[in-house]
Structure 1
C-alpha cells in the first residue's frame, strides 16, 4: 500500500523512506553548508538500485527543493556571505557542464573519479582534524545572536567581510579555481560541490563556518539548476537516458526542504566545534567508501 514504483528510474520503495532519509541528511548538513547530496547518491545507487546517469540528475532535483528554504533562512538572519557565494557560483557553473560531458561520454564507470574525490576529502578532513586538535579542546561559543555578515571591501585579489566582531579576508582566485574543479566532479556525480567547498572555505581559507554555510548552499543551488537543465536536455548522450526522475527527486526534496530549514534555524545555537566534528566524520566516511569502491 505504501510502496510505489517511480516511472523514470523504475525504483520501487516505500513512499515515506526518501523524505525521511533526506530530512536527516539536510538537517545536519545545513549547519555545515552541505545538502547531503553526496550521501544521497550512494543511497540511491546502493539501497534503491538506481544506477543510470539519471541518478546524478535526480540528485540535482533534490537540491532544487532542499536548498531555497535554507538559503532564505540564512539571508533573513544576515548570515549570507554574498561575495563568497558569487565566487563559488561563477567557478562552479562552467564546471557542471564539463562534468556532465565527462559523465555521459567518458565515465561509463564512475569509479574512475572516486580515488580523486577520496583524496580531496581526506585532505580536507586532515585540515579540519588539525584545526580541532589545535583548539586545545575548548569549545568555542556560538556567534552572537545579532552577528551579521557585512562586506568591508571587494577586489579581485582580496575580499574582506566582518562577522561576529571580527574581520575575515580571502583571495577569490584560488577559490574560483577550486570551485571550477569541484564543479566538474559535481556535474558528473550530481552534487553541487558544497561537500568540498564548505570544508575548503573553513579549513584552507580559515573562514568561520557560520558565515560560510549559506554561501556554499547558494552555490550548490545554482549549480543544481544548470545540472538539471543539461541532464534533461541530454546533449551528446548518444541515446543514453539522462533525464532526472522528477517525482523521486521531489520526494527527496520535500524531506530536504524541511530538514534544511530547521537545520539553518538551529545553526546559530550550535558552537562551531561540534559542527566541524560532524563535518570531519562525514568526510572520513565518504572518503572511505570511495576508496573501498575503487579498490574493489
Structure 2
C-alpha cells in the first residue's frame, strides 16, 4: 500500500502492529511510544520529510485518550497543573514546528537532533533506575511507598477506593494540591517556563513533550509521579492537536516540501497504539517495570549513538 504523503510503500497491517508492540512495552515502563515510533518511520520506512513529526503527533491524538480517561476515572488529574503545562507547552510546540520545517528539514541534521533527545530520555531513565537501586540497597523506601501507595494491580481491594487529588490553590503564581495526606506546592510560573522549553523540543521532534516534562516535574518540583502522569498525558494530547493543526496550516507555504501529516499512516499507528496501551496496562502487574525500563533505556541510548554517528558521516 502506498502512502502518498509519506512517500513510502508498506503493508497496511505493519504500522498498527509495530505501534501495538512498541506501546505495549513502553506503557508498562510508564512512557509514551511516540519517541520510538519516529525512529521506526525514519530508519525502517524511510519517511524523513518534516511531515513525519506531524504524523507522529497525530498518533498521540488517536492513542492518548484512553490513557487520559483512566486517570480521570481514578481522580488523579490535577487540572491546575494540566492547564499550566498546556499554557507553556502550546506556544512551544508551534515554535518547534517552525524550527522543524525551516531549520531542520534535512534528514541528516534532524537525526543529530533526534540523537540528543533520545540520549536524554534514555540517560534520564537509566539514572532514575540507578537511584531506585540505591534506595533499595540503603533501605530507603521509594516515594510511592513513603506515601503508602501500592503497585497498581488493575483493581482495588474490596471496600477501598484509589487515592484522589484535592486541589488547594490554583492561582496565577502558585499551584497547591493534596494527595495521600501530603501537600504539594509549586510555582506556576516555573511550570510555565519549563513547559515552554519542553514544548519547543517536543514540537520539533514530534512527541508533544510528555515524555520529557514528566521527569522534570518529578525531579525538580518534587511532585509524585502518580499525579504528574495524567497532566503530562493530557498536555501531550492537547498540544499534539495544536501541533498537527499548525503543520497542516503552514503546509501551503511550503509547496515543495511534505509538511502536512499523513493522516492514514498516523491513524493506523494510533489504532495499534490504543490496543497496545490497553494490553500493556493490563499486563503491567506481571512484569516488573524496572526490567522494561532498563530495556528501553538501552534501546534509546543505542539509537541515540546510531543517529549521532549517521549525522556526522
* Bucket of the pairwise TM-score, normalised by the shorter protein: 0.7 to 0.9
Which of 1 and 2 has greater Rg?
2
Residues 158 and 128 of structure 1, relative CA distance in 2, 3 Å threshold:
farther
Correspondence for 1:121: 121
SS in 1 for 2:257: coil
Structure 1 residue ranges, 4+ long, deviating more than 6 angstroms after superposition? none
Correspondence for 2:233: 217
Taking structure 2 as the reference length, the TM-score comes to 0.81
Deviates further, 11-20 or 56-65: 11-20
Distance in 1 separating the partners of 2:183 and 2:9:
51
1:142 has 2:151 as partner: yes
Taking structure 1 as the reference length, the TM-score comes to 0.85
Q: CA deviation at 1:248?
A: 0.7
Distance in 2 separating the partners of 1:67 and 1:181:
22
Q: Is the 8 A contact 1:57 1:227 kept in 2?
A: yes
Distance in 2 separating the partners of 1:175 and 1:275:
27
Deviates further, 82-91 or 132-141: 132-141
Correspondence for 1:7: 4
Distance in 1 separating the partners of 2:246 and 2:264:
18
C-alpha RMSD of the superposition: 2.8
Alignment of structure 1 residues 2-41 onto 2, 5 Å = 4-30=1-27, 34-41=31-38
Alignment of structure 1 residues 19-168 onto 2, 5 Å = 19-30=16-27, 34-108=31-105, 109-114=109-114, 116-118=116-118, 120-121=120-121, 124-125=124-125, 127-137=127-137, 140=145, 141-142=150-151, 145-168=161-184
Q: CA deviation at 1:280?
A: 5.9
Give the paired residue count.
290
Distance in 2 separating the partners of 1:291 and 1:237:
31
Residues 190 and 71 of structure 1, relative CA distance in 2, 3 Å threshold:
same
Q: Is the 8 A contact 1:90 1:176 kept in 2?
A: yes
Correspondence for 2:256: 239
Q: CA deviation at 1:18?
A: 1.4
Find 1:169's aligned residue among 185, 202, 205.
185
For residues 229-280 of structure 1, give each alpha carbon's deviation from its aligned partner in whole angstroms, at most 9, with x where no partner exists: 111121643631211111110011111122334545677x699xx5466446
Structure 2 unaligned segments of length 5 or more: list them.
none
